[in-house]
Amino acid sequence: MLNDLKGKRVLITGASTGIGAATAVEFGRLGSHVVVHYNSSEDDAKAVVEAIRKAGGKADLLKGDVSVSAEAIRVVNEAAGILGGLDVLINNAGALVQRSPVTDITDELFDRVIDLNVRSVVMASKAAVPHLRKAGGGAIINTSSIAARNGGGPGAGLYASAKAFVSNLTRNMAKEYAADNIRVNAVAPGVIMTPFHQRFSTPEMLEAMRKTIVMGRIGEPQECVGAYVFLASPAMSGYITGQVIEVNGGQLMP
């Protein structure tokens, strides 16, 4: 059933490492033409593009700081130009930025977290909708987080709240654009071993989180990929919109 992803034009923001990189490689393997977006991790992004091309897929590289409105819009429009249109937008760019209790949050940190995790999704989606309409429909898939439901770990209140925003925006957009044949869903990873946790979580924190996971282990980026592929495929999920798929090893069962 995934044959319907062959030839699809896909933009993945934040695709240089972790879940975004693994997802980009899989879409390339399935025959989609992928634009791999990055901001600072150029070497990693180039490696993703090279992996897709070596496997016989089509991929291109695109840099931009999607936390800035004009840049998010430019990235989407340039990607659509490279691809000759757009069928799937995956809003994956995001980060915790810094652990901080609410009492220590500054205006600068607030803006950095919200701009990267919220503004990027809003503005990239805004830019994508006209391209998806022109294509006769398509899919927007946002990356939320388990933190959107459980409030996040120590010092992650801003990040968790930003991801809750993303989950709720997903539901609203699903209603707004269903008439355009645009399906909008989200994937909410749990504790996945990516540069995110390598940077922001200590071994002790990771072990404490592992103990709360029913499956007894921390997930890998590749274990999130299937949810994105499923939500992008009309054959697999053509009657699914406004949903947030939890991928967390049973850590949270909403």
Give the span between the Cα atoms of 120 and 109, in whole angstroms: 16
Active-site hit among 38, 159, 177, 228: 159
Active site residue 239: no
H helix and E strand count, the chain:
11, 7
Q: Look up tokens 């989609």; give the residue.
A: 32
* Residue 140 burial class via C-beta count within 10 angstroms: exposed 0-12, middle 13-18, buried 19 and up: buried
Rg of the chain taking only CA atoms, in angstroms: 17
- As annotated, the active-site residues are 159
